[in-house]
Amino acid sequence: MLLHLSTWSEVEAYLEKSQGIILPIGSTEQHGPTGLIGTDAICAEVIARGVAEATAAIVAPTINVGMALHHTAFPGTISLRPSTLIQMILDYVTCLTRAGFTKFFFINGHGGNIATLKAAFAEAYAHIYDLNIPNAQQVQCQVGNWFMCGSVYQLAKELYGNQEGSHATPSEVAVTQYVYPQAIKQAPLSPEVGSGHRIYGAADFRQRYPDGRMGSNPALATPEHGKQLYELAVKELSNTYLEFLAE
């Protein structure tokens, strides 16, 4: 069930059965010479919809722009500041809590969002409590990072070994190839790829990772791999979501 394709009365009926909602969140950022700029949002959205179908949940509109300031030296990247993203999450959770939702399960496709999301959850608990919303004390937020699922990690390790890397990875590129086979990109990749450097500002990031990749070889990705990774993520996160509802 998609929130943006539902009516208010359908949402009201849903809330009589469940107070859980899935919120996909990603990023709009460079993903190397062959990775789509929307990779993180694409992965989060398709996996969230798969989880919702498996668990009879409702899915909020995808948050496509995240915290990606370190990628902004590459054309096409759009980033929110951490403080802006916190306020955005705060407003989302507050509005949905007023409607009757209490279980907020964020399916995340971007590692750079994790710290900000956790800070936003802390802000949300305090803010909603101060507003004296009737169900404030029942509100719980959780983040599920699809790329950190144990089954996904294991398959990526088997398929790509140390060429998985940590950004513009073949696993995430494979999922986008599965979802959008018509948008598969081809480009020459340098055999030398940066890895292991700390992340500071955008200019430093581009200097150390000149083509945007971080230790990865996305040329190994295939749509068939993407389908496998998608199915594993949906299965694992569906179980996590149902456990979250039952807490």
Architecture of the CATH domain 3-246: 3-Layer(aba) Sandwich (3.40)
Q: Kindly report, residue by residue over 83-95, the tens digit of the pLDDT.
A: 999 999 999 999 9
Strand partners, 20: 103
* Amino acid making up residue 105: F
Domain definitions of the chain by residue range: 3-246
Q: Which pLDDT does position 134 carry in this prediction?
A: 86
Q: Which pLDDT does position 219 carry in this prediction?
A: 98
Q: Which pLDDT does position 114 carry in this prediction?
A: 98
Q: Which residues of the chain have pLDDT under 50?
A: none
Q: Which pLDDT does position 230 carry in this prediction?
A: 98
CA-angle at 31, arms to 30 and 36, nearest 5° = 90
Predicted structure pTM score: 0.96
CB 129 within 8 A of CB 137: yes
Q: Which pLDDT does position 132 carry in this prediction?
A: 87
Q: Which residues of 119-129 are buried (b: 16+ CB within 10 A; e: fewer)?
A: ebbeebbebbe
Q: Kindly report, residue by residue over 134-192, the tens digit of the pLDDT.
A: 899 999 999 999 999 999 999 999 999 999 999 999 999 999 999 999 999 999 999 89
Q: Which pLDDT does position 127 carry in this prediction?
A: 93
Q: Which pLDDT does position 194 carry in this prediction?
A: 93
- What is the Cα–Cα distance from 167 to 199, expressed in whole angstroms? 12
